[in-house]
């Protein structure tokens, strides 16, 4: 039986109740808010918290962090490239400073490892991982993990810098989590840095396409009882796809220097804006998971810079 951790505050700062015996990657649980109402959580990536200039739009990054705090989400998932240079502890200090309102509200934050978490540690990953684990101490010694958000949603946070091919430890764990998910789980959200499905103009990372192949086989075999949504980052824009019954999103507009999106090859949002700083708000209520892309226009000085140009729904299986 996997160890259960009870999460009541910010993952980076709050104390945890740990099982006496720990085996395998950690599992966290975020209880749903008391009372009747929807469950809200946020996913986005490529925030690049840093004091360096020219690598991120600090105004957009701070605006997104403040707006997310106003959502009062049950949890925040960050799909990698939280900081610009993983070897520099000062970047993590910038993260802590600019998200102080998250800490004040005790909103749990669940990060995935991205390529920038290892920037500056090309020959030895240890210093970079130490900086990440010093910030998110409850993850120490682990690079992937799972989270229950409420009673009907399971999030699997992966490390797409590590192997995901068949036979690898992470792949075995992923399959175990999906096939062994509680029958009450209606939705599985997979968060990782390199998007398994995205505009093919951008090169692949490591094994992230293996995730899409595995999920396609599971869907075609009819052995998935939960609906699956996969959120990657890395490409500094927003994209949405649907493949073999699985929703695939690219959410890399957390503040990093924008990348263009060509919106070919089946991309569903068909946004006409080239720069898309944003986060994705998810709301789960009565078996319906609604995703909304919340966009910030950093160049809009005359009107409300906030829009919601893309929205989609995923219904639980009958």
CB 48 within 8 A of CB 255: yes
For residue 314, give both structure tokens: 């995923």
- Of 88 and 200, which is predicted with more confidence? 88
Mean pLDDT of the chain: 92
pLDDT digits (tens, 9 = 90+) for 84-119: 999 999 999 999 999 999 999 999 999 999 999 999
CB 195 within 8 A of CB 233: yes
pTM: 0.93
pLDDT grade for 16, boundaries at 50, 70 and 90: very low
As a whole-number percent, the residues of the chain with pLDDT over 90 amount to 85
Residue the block writes with tokens 């490239």: 81
All domains of the chain in start order, with CATH: 5-315 (3.60.21.10)
**What is the dihedral angle through the alpha carbons of 231, 235, 241, 246, rounded to the nearest 10 degrees?**
-30
Give the CA distances from residue 81 to residues 40, 97, 134, 140, 161, in Å, rounded to whole numbers and listed in that order: 23, 17, 16, 18, 12
pLDDT digits (tens, 9 = 90+) for 211-237: 999 999 999 999 999 999 999 999 999
User: What was the pLDDT predicted at 34?
Assistant: 58
User: What was the pLDDT predicted at 190?
Assistant: 98
User: What was the pLDDT predicted at 148?
Assistant: 97
pLDDT grade for 302, boundaries at 50, 70 and 90: confident
pLDDT digits (tens, 9 = 90+) for 119-166: 999 999 999 999 999 999 999 999 999 999 999 999 999 999 999 999
Residues 6+ apart with CB under 8 A from 1: none
């Amino acid at each position: 039986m996997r160890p259960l951790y009870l999460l009541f505050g910010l993952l980076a700062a709050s104390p945890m109740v740990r099982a006496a015996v720990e085996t395998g990657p950690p599992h966290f649980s975020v209880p749903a808010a008391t009372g009747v109402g929807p469950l809200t959580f946020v996913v986005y990536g490529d925030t690049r918290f840093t004091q360096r200039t020219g690598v991120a739009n600090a105004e957009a990054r701070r605006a997104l962090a403040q707006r997310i705090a106003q959502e009062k989400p049950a949890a925040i998932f960050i799909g990698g490239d939280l900081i610009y240079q993983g070897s520099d502890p000062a970047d993590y200090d910038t993260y802590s400073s600019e998200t102080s309102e998250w800490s004040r509200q005790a909103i749990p934050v669940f990060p995935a490892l991205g390529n920038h978490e290892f920037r500056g540690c090309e020959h030895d990953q240890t210093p970079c991982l130490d900086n990440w684990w010093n910030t998110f101490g409850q993850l120490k010694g682990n690079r992937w993990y799972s989270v229950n958000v409420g009673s009907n949603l399971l999030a699997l946070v992966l490390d797409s810098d590590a192997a995901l091919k068949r036979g690898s430890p992470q792949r075995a764990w992923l399959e175990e989590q999906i096939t062994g998910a509680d029958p009450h789980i209606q939705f599985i959200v997979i968060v990782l840095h390199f998007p398994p499905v995205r505009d093919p103009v951008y090169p692949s990372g490591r094994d992230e396409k293996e995730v899409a192949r595995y999920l396609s086989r599971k869907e075609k075999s009819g052995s998935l009882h939960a609906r699956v949504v996969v959120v990657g980052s890395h490409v500094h824009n927003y994209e949405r796809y649907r493949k073999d019954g699985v929703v695939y999103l690219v959410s890399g507009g957390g503040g990093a220097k924008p990348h263009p999106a060509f919106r070919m090859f089946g991309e569903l949002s068909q946004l006409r804006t080239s720069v898309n700083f944003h986060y994705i708000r998810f709301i789960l209520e009565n078996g319906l998971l609604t995703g909304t892309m919340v966009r910030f226009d950093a160049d809009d000085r005359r009107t409300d810079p906030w829009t919601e140009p893309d929205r989609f729904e995923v219904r639980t299986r009958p």
